[in-house]
Amino acid sequence: MRVDGRKCNQIRPVKITRNYTKYAEGSVLIENGDTKVICTASIEDKVPPFLKGRGEGWITCEYNMIPRATQVRKARDINRGRIDGRTMEIQRIIGRALRSVVDLRAIGEKTIWVDCDVIQADGGTRTASISGAFVALVDAVNKLHKQNPFTIYPIRDFVSAVSVGIVNDTRMLDLCYLEDSRAKVDMNVVMTDSGEFVEIQGTGEQNPFTREDLKELLALAEKGIKSMISAQKDSLKMDSLWIGTGGE
């Protein structure tokens, strides 16, 4: 039994609220257990200099926590003078996850800014961010699509993420903070609805892990991803992206 009564292969309750704030083209509050993240997608009609004139779009992601999202208050980046390595790593993984299912040529010369602001952190903020940001991204893309339909609908597949790990010699799905802080092996998996991996990041800093561990953890992750994508579909009232414009 886990600290919150879940089974080892069970994810925490997921709640996705769309149109959470009113200005962003896509705005989602995702709650994964006690982890809560506001994900917005904002569209800008230009691309960064390195892409200018190539007819492609770009997706850039930023991640942050409000200072008291955590048990101990964490100073703001601007007061510490730099973004820490963990935040950098998370921003990069969110960006790669979203770009992996988007046809950037189909978007044209636009930048989609994805902001993930954690308001309460109880483990798994990076995976919740990916899962929530995907829904905000779909809403933003659909808003564009309604105004001016894309020739090729730019989102190719659903994408979602979960964490898995080994805690007290037990392999577990979707670790909460208490579990995460004791985990010997910690792995984040990003996967598409068609069952392919976008990203695997597994670390056994204190205790290296075996090929068998890896296999079992990936099986758990796959199960979690399915639940998470199912929550995304319910929220978007879309069963599949292939139909095209979908949505509201």
Q: Which stretches of the chain bind a second copy, using CB under 8 A?
A: 21-24, 27, 34, 36, 38, 40, 42, 44, 62, 64, 66-71, 73, 76-79, 81-86, 88-89, 91-92, 96, 99-100, 113, 115, 117, 119-120, 187, 191-192, 194-211, 213-214, 218
Nearest approach in angstroms of CB 15 to a second copy is 15
E strand or H helix that includes residue 35: strand 35-44
Residue pair 132/116 in contact by the 8 Å Cβ criterion: yes
Token code pair at residue 136: 């905000």
φ/ψ region of 124 (left if φ > 0, alpha if ψ in -120 to 50, else beta) reads left
- Which CB atom, from 73 or from 237, has the smaller least distance to a second copy? 73
- Which CB atom, from 203 or from 245, has the smaller least distance to a second copy? 203
Residue pair 37/124 in contact by the 8 Å Cβ criterion: no
- d(Cα 139, Cα 154) in Å, to the nearest integer? 12
Report how far apart the first and last C-alpha atoms of the chain are (Å, whole number): 40
Q: Is 125 labelled a binding residue?
A: yes
Q: Is the alpha carbon torsion for 242, 239, 99, 153 positive or negative?
A: positive
Q: Is 86 labelled a binding residue?
A: yes
Q: Is 26 labelled a binding residue?
A: no
- Which CB atom, from 86 or from 237, has the smaller least distance to a second copy? 86
Nearest approach in angstroms of CB 111 to a second copy is 10
- Which CB atom, from 5 or from 85, has the smaller least distance to a second copy? 85
Pairing of strands 111-120, 58-65: parallel
- Which CB atom, from 7 or from 85, has the smaller least distance to a second copy? 85
Q: Is 124 labelled a binding residue?
A: yes
- d(Cα 41, Cα 139) in Å, to the nearest integer? 8
Nearest approach in angstroms of CB 120 to a second copy is 5
- d(Cα 159, Cα 135) in Å, to the nearest integer? 9
Residues annotated within the binding site for phosphate are: 86, 124-126
Q: Which residues are annotated as a binding site?
A: 86, 124-126
